[in-house]
A and B are shown apart, each in its own frame.
Chain A
């Protein structure tokens, strides 16, 4: 069974339809990249997977999104625990105005995952380690997260997402605001995290999609044009439109 299974998904902002009839299966422990020109709906689609669009009052969803076989848009879904299971990393790093430790510990605390204080420490350290940040911050865990560099802040946000033990991680252009070196670190991290998590990553950077993903999905004007193994997508796509886009003829 697929980890995520989307069928016939339509999405509206008020009267404007942003996504048209999207169906897509994502197996467990796959990295899938969403690419496409800006405004094509790739971020909107990503945010339907953890119901982040719920915060927009006029948003409306049709169709279904199954995660582990259960429709997350059912009326009795507990959105909070859905989001715990489907973590998210944002385009711009968004640490909380708290210490580094508290940033990572926050999700653990609110979800009541830890057994005691010692267990909390272990979990925070492990998350920071998995996000490849521990060595850089272990001496200043109690200082403000705002003191970190942009790349470090983004990895802190990844650590924060990992600490609540999600099964899926959604990444919305996680490296778009970072310099090449910080970007490379994030990409290495994605490859590493793939061993344990299902990862959906939105990117506008073709090379990045090629480097990190198993499969790539190409969106345009709110429609899913093509989804194929990344290798094939960049060498021999099925659709003419995809070929035009990946070879840089528009976008």
Chain B
């Protein structure tokens, strides 16, 4: 062995071996450069999305300006395009979804993390996650043929009988409209909110739980403390759900009725930003019409980007505290 140390190319005072030393340093530089370029491309893609969509919607931006956001008329024939009914439909359906999904999701997460035995929690958590794996178009199909008839025949008449004095529950019960849309969105965002809340609850150190239990708090009181401490993370989870609900396209397009109107009744059909893009993009005749639809896409992009960024910051703030 000692005789071999001389034929390996090393001499005193030299660290270079069979290959020239440049090789290693150059290899590292090329590798670093290549990966950095890939990372930079991600940023370029997002910038390109903004630039390309802004350019393609230029006609509409110029023609309507801020008026686009508050215009109530959407008339492709007359060339009049206002986005307010769609913004309304998007926001109301998303908020409806959150009102339904938030308590349920927190309930599911609390059950899975704090209450259910491990042997039950694991398979159940997987099944809840699977809910997120089902494609939007499948939820739409199911909503048309299962959910909507149930609502039309049972739920909506019941709501009308009991709460019919409220403006939300007046009008004709068709099963197609805002309420059905909100419910299907709620089903779709429940696994997302649940997953984030679960992560947050699981990150709470055992010591914190034990400290509370040791003070004589019941298990449920302890859970409440844990939830209160994680409130900004839970807010993040809800905002994340909001982002998802705003952008959902296929299911809501198939069930919300696609009529651009602002109506107090949740039984009435409505329209969302994503839906109008999905429905009218391929048949948009005329540059202004297409331009207005692309502007809808740009709005959707900017809103979800901000909402998701906000959600991430909120969730991070909890992660940082528990870390």
Contacts and interface: CB of A to CB of B under 8 A. Distances in A.
B1 A84 contact: no
Interface in A49-70: 68-70
A48 to B, nearest CB: 16
Interface in A68-120: 68-70, 72, 77-82, 84-85, 111-113
A167 B18 contact: no
A69 B13 contact: yes
Contact of A113 (B2, B8, B13, B15): B8
Contacts of A85: 10, 15
Nearest to A84: B17
B1 A78 contact: no
A78 B15 contact: yes
* Category for how many chain B residues contact A: 10 to 19
A130 interface: yes
Interface in B1-44: 1-2, 4-5, 8, 10, 12-19, 21, 24-25
Contacts of B19: 111-112
Given A165-B4, A167-B5, A196-B1, A78 B21 contact: yes
Contacts of A130: 1
Nearest to A165: B8
B236 to A, nearest CB: 29
B5 A78 contact: no
Contact of A81 (B1, B12, B15): B15
B12 A111 contact: no
Given A130-B1, A165-B4, A196-B2, A113 B12 contact: no
Contacts of B1: 126, 130, 165, 196
Nearest to A80: B24
Nearest to A70: B13
A85 B15 CA distance: 7
A126 B3 CA distance: 14
B10 A78 contact: no
Interface in B171-196: none
A82 B13 contact: no
Contacts, number: 48
Contacts of B16: 78, 81
A184 to B, nearest CB: 23
Given A165-B8, A167-B10, A70 B15 contact: yes
Nearest to A1: B12
Contacts of B24: 78-81
Nearest to A166: B5
Nearest to A66: B13
Contacts of B5: 165, 167, 196
Contacts of B14: 70
A167 B12 CA distance: 11
A69 B19 CA distance: 22
A165 B25 CA distance: 21
Interface string A138-171: 0000000000000000000000000001010000
A113 B21 contact: no
A104 to B, nearest CB: 15
A77 B15 contact: yes
Contacts of A167: 5, 10
A78 B25 contact: yes
A125 to B, nearest CB: 13
Contacts of B18: 111-113
A76 to B, nearest CB: 8
Contacts of A81: 15-17, 21, 24
Interface string A16-30: 000000000000000
B107 to A, nearest CB: 41
Residue of A70, A130, A165, A167 most packed against chain B (CB within 10 A): A165
Nearest to B11: A68
Contact of B15 (A82, A195, A196): A82
A118 to B, nearest CB: 16
Contact of B12 (A68, A77, A112): A68
Given A111-B18, A113-B8, A167-B5, A68 B13 contact: yes
5 contacts: A70-B14, A81-B16, A81-B17, A81-B24, A195-B2
Given A72-B15, A79-B24, 16 more contacts: A68-B12, A68-B13, A69-B13, A70-B15, A77-B15, A78-B16, A78-B25, A80-B24, A81-B16, A85-B10, A111-B18, A112-B19, A130-B1, A165-B5, A167-B5, A195-B2
Q: Which 4 interchain pairs have the tightest Cβ spacing?
A: A78-B21, A81-B15, A80-B24, A70-B13
